[in-house]
Amino acid sequence: MSSKLKIYNTLTRTKELFEPIDPGNVRMYVCGPTVYDFAHIGNARPLIVFDVLYRLLRHLYGEAHVKYVRNITDVDDKINARAAERGISIRELTEETNKVFQADVRALGCLEPDVQPRATEHIAQMIAIIERLIASGHAYAADGHVLFDVPSMPAYGKLSRRSLEDMRAGARVDVAPYKHGDMDFVLWKPSASHEPGWESPWGFGRPGWHIECSAMSWKHLGETFDIHGGGIDLVFPHHENEIAQSCCAFDRDVMANYWMHNGFLQVEGEKMSKSLGNFVTIHDLLHTNKFGGRKWPGEVLRLAMLRTHYRQPIDWTVKALEEAEANLLAWHDHADFDSITESNEVPATIVNALYEDLNTAETISWIHSLNKTGQMSALKSALRFLGLLNSEVFSRATIQFDPLHDVTQDNRNKIDGWIEARLAARAEKNWAESDRIRDELAAMGVVLKDNKDGTTTWEIRRENTR
């Protein structure tokens, strides 16, 4: 079976035709959360991106022939520190945080992966890989630690395309006396009595971060698999170190044939950070008024992500969310939308756009076209396929105005979004759509005033607010 799917491979820096090792068993691994705190909106991007890829692979090869693994890191120094800070057990912290994470991901419309392995359940596999590395001369034990000997792997740096000298110059390296080389990284380290730990050939201790993913991918996908994904920030050192561990342990040239990475996310034009006060979590967006003064439905967050190609940087703004919501409202705004039967086939235009390195931006353009031409059955099928037809119901009829004030901020944002949709319709000379939006807003007491400069203002008719 010849694939039509093309994906950009970070390993080769080229867009390649996807050819799975075994079309009957397509395998994908994506780095999941470290469950010490709520996932921020930047973490949501790979969740959504690789969920779309998972859906596409299942469409191409069949649901029974695709295996998607997304791990849960539940042993980490950040977890230890946060549990101590809150005065609770590590298990209590990780269970609580993972429960919120799973709910957040469901709200984003993501399918559940086939396997969500926990790091703490794969200690035996980690120890086995470390023993292999020591036996083959790629790792060494020193002072209760085990470290990977970076110079022992000539190909180290092939994913990030950095020389050892460049990496050494740009890295903040631990100059511990037990290290043979300054770039050597930890595979196993000793644990104090109050820290989580397991018995090992090197004493009571716990794994380093990188070895966890090598062990979990090996356990569930094998020594070599098809796709490994994650954010661009993981290319170095995490994914570089995964490759080193797995290739050297199993004497392979590659760990995964295709490496995919989504681009960075910033918030309102700035890097997201707690010090700038713009650090926002998925949970914040779904359940609080922290961003834009209101809560946002999961489908809105998902569409806002998909409107930008996954490899491009994205600016997370209130305006982008308002535009995404306006799009969803426009697509749902048909009297019989809920009763329309979905097409059994996903529109070819949607699938073909995704075949081109997950070009979700193009799929959104095609969805607009389906809506404009009244292909409602195909529209519903496309929205379902992209994970945009889940729990939320979008309808202008649900607007409720506060009788004591003009409108709530939430409704103000929605009205502005509909006005943008009307202006877009006017620009396309779609007068029927423009008039329909105007009339429906008027029925709810919103009076539009078109200005000579092409802008539109609005006000609430007095009798609707008494």
The tens digit of pLDDT for each residue in 177-192 reads 889 988 999 999 999 9
Residue 112 pLDDT? 97
How would you write the pLDDT of the chain (466 residues) with one tens digit per residue?
457 999 999 999 999 999 999 999 999 999 999 999 999 999 999 999 999 999 999 999 999 999 999 999 999 999 999 999 999 999 999 999 999 999 999 999 999 999 999 999 999 999 999 999 999 999 999 999 999 999 999 999 999 998 777 766 555 555 688 899 889 999 999 999 889 999 999 999 999 999 999 999 999 999 999 999 999 999 999 999 999 999 999 999 999 999 999 999 999 999 988 888 889 999 999 999 999 999 999 999 999 999 999 999 999 999 999 999 999 988 887 767 778 888 889 999 999 999 999 999 999 999 999 999 989 999 999 999 999 987 544 544 444 444 434 466 667 777 877 888 888 878 777 887 787 788 777 767 787 887 777 778 877 764 433 2
**CATH superfamily of the 6-262 domain:** HUPs (3.40.50.620)
CA–CA dist 179, 140 (Å, integer):
9
Q: To 10 degrees, the CA torsion angle through 245, 246, 249, 253?
A: -110
The residue type found at 257 is: N
Neighbours of 252 (CB within 10 A): 12
Which residues are CB-contacts of 96 (< 8 A; sequence separation ≥ 6)?
Answer: none
pLDDT of residue 419: 83
Q: How many separate helices (H) and strands (E) can be counted in the chain?
A: 15, 15
SS3 147: strand
The whole-angstrom distance between residue 186's C-alpha and the CA centroid of its chain comes to 27
22: β partners: none
Report the distance separating Cα 439 and Cα 449, nearest Å.
Answer: 13
With a CB cutoff of 8 Å and minimum separation 6, the contacts of 105 are 47, 282
How far is residue 367's CA from residue 365's CA, in Å, rounded to a whole number?
5
pLDDT of 119: 97
Is 415 in contact with 446 (CB distance < 8 Å)?
yes
| Beta carbons of 361 and 309 less than 8 angstroms apart | yes
- What's residue 350's pLDDT? 97
CATH 3.40.50.620 domain range(s) in the chain: 6-262
Cα dihedral 78, 113, 91, 98 in deg (nearest 10)? 70
Query: Quick check: helix, strand or coil at residue 177?
Result: coil
Q: Is 13 helix (H, G, I), strand (E, B) or coil?
A: coil
In terms of DSSP H, where are the helices of 356-430? 360-372, 376-385, 409-427
**What are 118's strand-pairing partners?**
72
Q: What is the DSSP track for 293-347?
A: TS---HHHHHHHHHTS-TTS-EEE-HHHHHHHHHHHHHHH-STTGGGPPPPSS--
Closest CA to 232 of 466, 452, 13: 13
φ/ψ (deg, to 5) at 14: -140, 160
pLDDT at residue number 396: 46
pLDDT of residue 466: 28
In sequence order, which residues have a C-beta less than 8 Å from that of residue 277 and are 6 or more positions away?
none
- For residue range 8-41, list pLDDT tens digits in order: 999 999 999 999 999 999 999 999 999 999 999 9
d(CA 214, CA 34): 16
Strands 256-262 and 270-271 come out as: unpaired
| CB of 119 closer than 8 Å to CB of 98 | no
| Phi/psi of residue 450, nearest 5 degrees | -85, 130
Radius of gyration of the chain (CA): 25
First to last CA, the chain: 66
